[in-house]
Each structure stands twice: as structure tokens, then as C-alpha cells.
Amino acid sequence: MSQHTVLRNRLSQTVASLKPSGIRRFFDLAASMEGVISLGVGEPDFVTPWRVREACISSLERGYTAYTSNAGLLELRKEIHKYLEERFFVSYHPETEMLITVGASEAIDIALRAIIDPGDEVLVVEPCYVSYEPVIRLAGGEPVFLRTNAEQQFKLTPEELEAHISPRTKAIIFCYPNNPTGSTMTAEEWSKLLPVIEKHDLLVISDEIYAELTYGRMHDSIAALPGMKDRTILISGFSKAFAMTGWRLGYVCASPDLLAGMLKIHQYTMLCAPVMAQMAALEALRHGQADMERMVESYRQRRNFVVQGFQDIGLACHEPEGAFYAFPSIRSTGLEAAEFAERLLMEEKVAVVPGDVFGDCGKGHIRCSYATSLEQLQKALERMGRFVQKVSAK
Ligand code: PMP
């Protein structure tokens, strides 16, 4: 047996069987080339607003360098409580129902680990963020995938939900506004799902990291619907709304019993989120509204520009109502999404992500992040137009 084989066998079967992220592969390839316009990464192109950075610097000058309580600074939790009530009409108690995490990423992980017993099924609404499936598997659960489609603007329907419930179903996880489609759900659409959720006593993990990035109406949280607060684990954070991806700060809200379970995992694995990031987040919530609105307005302009642009080059694209992704169909070109993305990168130096990376029902689509300047978007569209014309002519 070679040394290599011995080492590989030390990995758990679960970890050994996880596939590397499909986004990463394209990202790495694009990074190794020159002159690439990347519409691949799901990250704001803005630097964190100055007042937020300054609050962090000032906290360091004042000596805030130690651990905070496991659940995070109470002052920050109180501010989040106020913010969620005012903007989204949900009310989780800052002392017993809220925990500050290392990004929404940690919140997703501890929410799933806190509720999954081996073999439990978790429904995953696709297309979806790439971490849900591996994190469910790492927690010992079985993901069961629910499909959505472009004809229904990638919204979850009660029929699709009901059809996949089994006696082993524990929870459902989704993200609206959605990564990768930009789709949103209205209170009315949520209310159609409630009878099914209640009938089967499901827990709901609602990833609302893009809640601030909506372009028609305010985000409707499922937790705000009657009877839903206690069965909803609400996840959000600062990465997208305040352009704070590198700060690694998020939060999770849930009923006290669930929150206490998550806190146990968090205190043994993370201890607490970084204090300087918490101090910065406090400033973001207290005085960052105008900065945030400025960024959202800019995403809105870019969204309008790319949606029109895709239509002009012959790619059908539903109008995304939230997040900063467009998810055009590339079926008219006759190419599979992976081939489209790979050739577009090699032949025209534009990086996009094949839609099936986010689940089977993303086939025939590509995800394009429009969190980049209008000039770059214009160039990318010119190159994509040339590419579409070339492949469609054959
Ligand atoms: N959920 C979704 C849907 C995301 O797109 C992302 C980041 N791309 C995250 C969670 C993770 O966010 P954070 O930076 O707060 O860990």
C-alpha cells in the first residue's frame, strides 16, 4: 500500500465522499488567467463603508481585544433585535433567542448540527447555495432535493414540498432572496406553504443573508408569518448588506431550546465571533443604513442593465427581484452549462458559474453575479454576445 493510500484512508467516509465546490474550480481557473472579467464570485465589489471600518479601528484603540460572551455582545444582539423588528417584523429575544456567529456560514452549520440525528432527512430547495448539501451530510443527515423552475420564477410550491416529505423529514432549508437565481418569495407565497409545514411539523431553516438586497418590495421573512417564529431558525449576517464578507460575522435566531443547542456547539467550537467584527457590526446597524441603501441602489442599476443585456444577446432571463445574481437560460445555444462556462472563459475570458453546480434544476442556466462595475458588465456582455452568436451559428 502506498503512503498516499494510507493517508487518504484516514479521512472519514463522509468527508472523503464530499465533492469540491464547483464554484471554486472556475474561480481558480479564472484567477490563473489574465484579462478575465469575473461574474463568478458572490461577493459585493464595494469596500466596507468607512464608518464601519473606523468603528473597528477605534474599538481596537480602546482595547477591545478579548473574548466576548459566547452568544456575542449583548449590545449587538439588542441592536439586531431592534433591526429585525423594524425592518422585517420578526422578534427574537436578544438574550435567549439569538447568537452571533462567524458568518452565516457558521450559523448554517450549527443549525443543521443542532437538529440532525443520523439518517434524518432535510429538504433542500434547489437551485441553492452550495454549502447546504455537504453541511447536511457532515451532520449525518440525508439531503432530499426539491425542484423549482424558471417558469415559476424559482419559487417553492406547496405541491413540490408535500411530494418529498417522508416520516424521516426533520427540516427544510432554503434561501430567499435566492442564490443563485435572485428569486424572492412574498408573504402570500409563504402562506401557501404553511399548512404543509404545520401538518408535517417541519423545522424551517431560512437563510436570509440577502434580505436587504431586494429591488421591488421589502423582503418578506417566513418567520413573520403567524405561528412560524418558533419553528423557524432564521439565519442572516453582515457580509452582503454591508459589504463585510471578510469580517466573518453573522447571526442565528431561534426558539430558546434550539438556540441553547446551537450555543453548545458554538461555545465548544468557536467560543465567540471576533470582537472587533462585532464592534464594527454595531456601527453598521446603528449608522450604516444610508451606505447600505447606496449600495443597493447601485445593484439595482446593474441588475436592470444585465437583464436587458442578456435579452439583447438572445439569452432568456427572468428578472431577479433580489440578491445580486442573474440566472439566464443558455438553452438557446444548444450547449450544456458546464461547456458554455468553460468555453466562455477560454474563448472570451468571462467567468460565470454553470447553473447545475447549484442543483440539477439549474441545468441549462448560468449564474452571473452583477456585483461588479457597469463598465465591466458592459464589456462582459459584449464578449458574451459575441460568444453566443458564434456558438448559435453552428
Ligand atoms: N448563504 C448564502 C445563500 C450565501 O450566498 C452565502 C455567501 N455566499 C452565505 C450564506 C455565507 O455568508 P457568510 O459570508 O455570512 O458566511
Map residue 173 onto helix, strand or coil.
Answer: strand
Please give the pLDDT value at position 19.
84
| 35 pLDDT above the threshold of 70 | yes
| 261 pLDDT above the threshold of 90 | yes
Residue 97 CB less than 6 A away from ligand 1: no
- Dist. CA 105 → ligand 1 center (Å): 6
| Of 249, 282, 373, nearest in space to 83 by CA | 282
- Dist. CA 133 → ligand 1 center (Å): 14
Pairing of the two strands 121-125 and 142-146: parallel
Residue 130 CB less than 6 A away from ligand 1: no
What is d(CA 81, CA 95) in angstroms, rounded to the nearest whole number? Answer: 10
Cell of 312: 439583447
- Dist. CA 173 → ligand 1 center (Å): 13
Give me the mean pLDDT over the 211-224 stretch: 96
Within this chain, do residues 8 and 105 fall inside the same structural domain, yes or no? Answer: no
| Of 363, 307, 313, nearest in space to 339 by CA | 363
Residue 105 CB less than 6 A away from ligand 1: yes
How many structural domains comprise the chain?
A: 2
CATH code for the domain of 328: 3.90.1150.10
Please give the pLDDT value at position 42.
87
Within this chain, do residues 32 and 55 fall inside the same structural domain, yes or no? Answer: no
- Asked if 145 contacts 136 with a C-beta cutoff of 8 angstroms, the reply is no
CB-based burial of residue 249 (10 Å sphere; 0-12 exposed, 13-18 middle, 19+ buried)?
A: buried
Q: Does the predicted TM-score (pTM) go above 0.90?
A: yes
Give me the mean pLDDT over the 240-269 stretch: 98
pLDDT tens-digit series, residues 84-107: 999 999 999 999 999 999 999 999
Q: Which atom of ligand 1 is nearest to the CA of 106?
A: 16
Last residue of a domain, one of 287, 316, 346: 287
| 24 pLDDT above the threshold of 80 | no
Sequence-distant (6+) residues with CB within 8 A of 198 are 227
Please give the pLDDT value at position 392.
87
CATH code for the domain of 145: 3.40.640.10
Q: What is the mean pLDDT of the chain?
A: 95
Please give the pLDDT value at position 6.
57
Give me the mean pLDDT over the 219-235 stretch: 97
The CA distances from residue 290 to 282, 285, 297, 366, in Å, are 15, 10, 11, 32
Last residue of a domain, one of 233, 263, 287: 287
DSSP 87-107: HH-----TTTSEEEESHHHHH
pLDDT band at 2 (very low <50, low <70, confident <90, very high): low
Last residue of a domain, one of 260, 287, 314: 287
Domain that holds residue 247: 50-287
- Dist. CA 9 → ligand 1 center (Å): 31
Please give the pLDDT value at position 31.
84
Residue 237 CB less than 6 A away from ligand 1: yes
Cell of 43: 461577493
Within this chain, do residues 128 and 253 fall inside the same structural domain, yes or no? Answer: yes
What ipTM score was computed for the predicted complex, to two decimals?
0.99
Cell of 155: 419559487
| 46 pLDDT above the threshold of 60 | yes
Within this chain, do residues 276 and 298 fall inside the same structural domain, yes or no? Answer: no
Name which of 7-16, 257-266, 312-321 the model is least confident about: 7-16
Task: Write b or e for each residue in 5-18: b if 16 or more Cβ atoms lie within 10 A of its Cβ, otherwise e.
Answer: eeeeeeeeeeeeee
Please give the pLDDT value at position 56.
98
